[in-house]
Every structure is written in structure tokens, then in C-alpha cells.
Structure 1
Amino acid sequence: MTVSATLAANEAIAARRAAGQEVLALGFGEAGIPVHPLLRQRLAQAAGQTAYGPVAGTDAAREAAAGYWTRRAIPTAKEQVLLGPGSKPLLFALLHAAGGDVVLPKPAWVSYGAQAEMLGRDPIRVPVPEGEGGVPDADAMDAAVRAARAAGRDPRIVVVTLPDNPTGRLASEQSVKALCEAARELDLIIAADEIYRDLVFEPGAFPSPSAWAPERTVTTTSLSKNYALGGWRIGAARFPDSPLGERLRESVRGTASELWSSTPMPMQHAAAYAWSDPQELVDRVALARRLHGSVANAVAEVFAGAGCEVMPPQGGFYVWPDFEPLRASLAADWGIATSADLAEVLLERFGVVVLPGSAFGDDPERLTIRVAVPGLYGENDSERLAALVSDEPASMPWIGDALEGLAQKLRALTAPE
């Protein structure tokens, strides 16, 4: 097992900067905004809580998480909630509890496939609907699962992301409904990673699978993305109110008791406050949503201007350019034939850190990359906070300079003199 591609990218950025090399850090999916002072205070207040807590989490934190989902039209009781040190270990424990093979959208976040492989399972990757992301095409999934079962495999769970990492797209209600119908017909558990839910740019109904397949959908969230608290490591899983949900929750709780014992108590104290949606934090998330949307769309325009195919991002802070229209010139000028080649040239020749599409399960020969935009928000907390509160974040001078620098590098890549 190698280091996760996203974390490896972060280490590469740090190493290049330590060596005094220029780097445009667009590889690591960290939200890139300062922690809210009220959250810092809550964490400090609980710093003395050193005892082990309940495996599932404290009543206060689970009640807060249940309220978080209930206010988002997913009625939840605290008994359905289980906390963990981030949503990643919760997902791993869920895959272990589900057993059998794992179905993934193509492309999908790097850790989904890696976790399946750690459990000895080769993921079944299914293309997403045209122009969408995060959810397998329902008809293609039906065919893939039936073919896998005919070949002796045992698919039991499908993982979806709403909105999506890496594409930045939000699956349509039609696609999510179709997925839920197919999952019920195929008797698949649905793991809905909704970690970016509060960062959908445009208001409107959110297509959570829990609305159409409540008896089989496990939903996860955390504080990592909407509050930019990735290093605090706390997440929550909501299990369905059904016999299946009870079985899965107890299995995950048993795994948790052997792997992480309990979620750090100070983090639970801060999370209980955050998941209660106090107005100060609701306002902070609204500012973050505007910042991410403004810069992500500006970055998408830069890649489109360079000749890439790119769908406008709809949530999170990622852009998914496809360099296919430039394949001939990239091959002739740089010897680029795969997304890994493309990412390497961008790093070694231009100091731009991105991740190749192949890291997310995309076909290696496709010239897709994932671009994480928070690396443009500023060099320090002062700049990042100024960008956060700006009415037009992409127009901040340092962000504008970074966008122009990116455009220049892409021009040098796609039309070298």
C-alpha cells in the first residue's frame, strides 16, 4: 500500500517549498480558510478531557449530528449516529461491515478504491452519467453488478459522493433516484459521502440518496471541508432506521472499538457546537461557499481558455479539466500520452501540482487532472481571511495574479514557442 495520492501531493508541495522551488499548489484537497475563533475556543475549553469516551460518541455530539441531518430533511435520532476520527475510518469500517465487493463511480475519490483493495477487493468501477459526477450511471451499474455476480463475485455496496470529488459536479436528482432504484433491485447498500454537502454553490434541493432509499443508505459527513478542519479529524456516520442499519451500525461500532476506541473528546466538544448550526458558523460556511465557488469557476475558465474541456464546478473546491482536445500537440511537444505524464510535466516543468485522473480510477490514457483551488486563496491567514470576506474573491489581487500565472503556464504548455 502506498501513501494516498492526495497526501503525497501535500508532502510534495511542502518538500518543493522547503527546497526554495516555485510551486503552484493545486493538488491537495484542503479547504484553505482560517479556523473560526469560536471553534478554537470550544476546542480549548475541552482540552482537559483526556478520558476515553463512548465508542459511538458522546450523547451531546451524536444529538448535534442528528439535529444537523434533521434540519437538512433527513430525520435522524442520535441512536442512528456513530462518530469517528474522520469520515475515512468510518467508511473503511462500513466497507468491512458490508462485506463483498465495492461498486464505485468512475472517477471516484482516491481512498474509496484504496480502501476496497486493503480489504482484498478489486473495486467495480462504473462510469458516471454524461456531464455529472459522484454517482454511477444506474443502467451501467445494473449491467456491471449482474455481470460480476455471474462471474462469481459478490457486490454488496456502492459508494457515491455528493457533490463530487474529483469532478466538482453534483449528480442530478434523476440520476440519484435511478441509482436508488437500481440499488434496491440489486440489494446494494448505498454509502453516501456528503462531506461537501454544505458547499453546493447554488441553492436548491439536495439529492441525497437517503430520500429515495432510506432503508439502505448510510450517510457520512465531517467538519473537514465546510469548516476547514481537516487536521482535527472528526466525522459522523448516519445509519438507516432499519434492521440493515442496526446491523451495520453495530458492526462498525465493534470495528471502532478495536481500531480507534473512541473519537477524541475535545474534538467531540467542538463538533457538538458546530453541528448545532449556530448562526456565526452558518454565516462562515456561506462565506466559504462563495469563496470556493468564485475561485473554482474562475479556474475552470482559465482551463477552458487554454483549450480544455471542463464542466463548470457545482460544489466543493475542485475542477476536472480534460486536455483531450490538445492531445496531438501535447504528444508532439512534450511526449504526453497519459494523465500521469501530464501531471508530471506540469510539476517538473512548470511547478504546478495537480493529480492525474488515473489516481481517481479514470482510464490512464484519458488526459484528465483534478485541480484543488484553495491553494490560490493566499499565502497566509491574513490573505485567506480577506478573500473569505470579499464580495468578489476571485478579484483579490493575489488570487488574480495566481490565475494569470496559471494561464501563462498553460499557454506555455499548450502552445510552446
Structure 2
Amino acid sequence: MTPASIADYQRIARKRLARIAFDYLEGGAEDGHTLRRNRQAFERLTFQPRVMCDVTHVDSAVTVLGRPLAMPAIVGPTGLNGLYMPRAEEDLAKAAHAAGLPFVLSSASTSLIEDVRRATAGDLWLQLYVQQNRAIAESMVQRARDANFSVLMVTVDTPVHGVRDHDVHNGFKLPLRPSVRLMADLLMHPRWCLRMIRQGGSPQLVNLARSLGERANINAQAATMSRQMDMGLDWGAIAWLRKLWDGPIVVKGILSVHDADKAAQLGVDGIVLSNHGGRQLAFAPSPIEILPRVMDRVGQRLTVIVDGGVRRGSDIAKARALGAQAVLLGRAPLYGLAASGRAGVDDVLGILRREFEITLRLLGRCQAAQLDATALDDGHRDQLARLDCS
């Protein structure tokens, strides 16, 4: 059966990935409340369409941070993608650029900055985690500059990893260690197991290894990504980053009007309203819930992007109508990658683009730039308020 939606690709990915890999992709913090809330926030928003409008020609393109996007979406940063397919970041980047979108490479990628640049001439952004040893971040930023990356996106919501029960149940830690449960899981998914063997076993956090100045050592890499995160990171780091990077800086992981205002005061170029895909703080608000109040405070001063739970082109339209310049796509492209490699990512992005353009036409809008709050039911702010726990 030909996949018709992101949910179809999600089901295929579930079948093809070993459970330890799919749970890492799909799981949220604690009991999954924040993860579910991300979808519920989108689902409770309803449209207010206009009819008898000429929608013969529709333009889904927008401009974000001075960069043209074929639709208001960016293929966002996700880590350990080698769990799903070899050379995953290269395929994600190539698919993003074929679709007219930027690709954000994670610090926790399993492909080198330099290899991803060699794979494509498209627009690349770097997502940065800051460790206690800031020389690692400095090295990574310099390498991204040398590779002509255009935007630096610093993630600020991970001083520690959130509580993830599924990883404990599966014994997930790097490197993957043999256990009865893992061996049974591998036997049930021989194709996935063969792919892991062909790429040398556990995927490596190769960018960390290079910036650490070490040979591939998954134990050292995992320690750097977890126990050695800079828990003292504060707003003073923006000045430090400005000395390292002369392009746009985006702060990812904002979940309050207060922090959005602080970012604007410090002159960052953009923010991503994000709860890390529901993987960090349980009972955090959904980004789409706080978007209207953030736009009221800082919408005229910086670029606002949202992520969390985007599964349909209509979700992209809702985010844009509430003021976001674009959404970050996290899990959706990974479902396509796990299901069918590069072709699956191409199809996922194509599905979202088609759904978005259909939504524009049915709303009576010819251009993505025309989407505003009038595209949503008048009660949408009340709907968000009923969900808001911030």
C-alpha cells in the first residue's frame, strides 16, 4: 500500500526498526504527557475558511531569516540518526534541499559536518549543544563556518537529559550492550541488524569525536553528550557565541514569554519555541500553546519558529496563522528515512507540501504569507488557554 500520510510512514518505521531504535525515535519524557499534548494542541485548533476566492495559483513559499523556503518548514536537528539508516544526515540534507528547505545538522549527528556539506550545496544550519569543555563547541562552530553553514541554532533546554522510561526499559545507552532482550529484538528485525553491522555497530557521534580530537570512541562521546553538558550555561553565552559566529543565531528551547523577551533584548535573530519533542520536561506546555503570547511580545523583534507534533500540512498552516514564520520538522522526516531511506524523506516532505497547499486553497488563501489569525476560528485563543499550564 502506498503511504498516504506521515502516520503511514510512522507505522512502516515501527515495523522496520528494532524496538530499541523506534522507542528512541518515538518516546517522550516520563509517561508521555508532553508528547501527547503537542498533538492535542494542534488538533484543538479549527479553521475559519473563506470561499469564492480565486485559488487557481497558490504560492507556498516564505522567507525566513532572509532565506527563501519553498514552504514554512525546516528539516530540524535530530541526533543519532544512524540508528535508522546509514549516512542518514546526508540523505536528510539532500532531501531537504531537493524540497527547497534548509537542513539543520545536530551536534549529535552520526555524519561529519564536512561530509554533509560535500553531499549537498544547499542551505545548512548547525544545531549546537554546549558542553562543559567549551572548546568542543568552539571547534564545531569553526568547522561549520569553514563548511559555509549559514545559521547557528543553540539548544538551551538540555542541561540534563529528561527522564525517559523507554530507554531504561530497553537498556538503551551508548554503546549498545548485548542483553537477552536486545538479542531477541535484533532477531525480530534482521534487516535493521544487518544495516547496523555494515556500518560498524553502534552509530558514532562523529562530530563530537573530531572536535574532541579523539578517534571514534562511543564511550567518550556519550559521556560528553550527557554527564558533561554545561549546566552553568546562561544568557551571557550569547555574547560568547557572537564572537564565534557572525551569522544569524537562533535560540532553541524557549517555552515562556519571559525567555522570549530576554532573547529579543540580547539581540538574537530568532527563537524556536520547543519542548524538545516532549522528550525533556514532563508536563511542559506545547509550543503552539504559548505562540500567540510570544508573538504579542516579541513578534516584531525577531523570527519565531515552532516545533513539536507537526504531522500534517494543516499543522504548518495553523502555526503560520498564529504568527510563526516556520515550523521545525523532527520526527516526520525520520519516519520516512527509517521506512525507505532518501526516497521516504522525499515523499514525507512532498506529502507535507501537498497537504499545505491544499489547506491554503481550502482556506481561500493564495499565498502562505496571507495566513494570519483570521484563518482560524475566533475561539482559538480560548482553546489554547484551556490547555495552557504555563
TM-score after normalising by structure 2: 0.35
TM-score after normalising by structure 1: 0.34
Higher relative contact order at CA 8 Å, sep ≥6: structure 1 or structure 2? Answer: 2
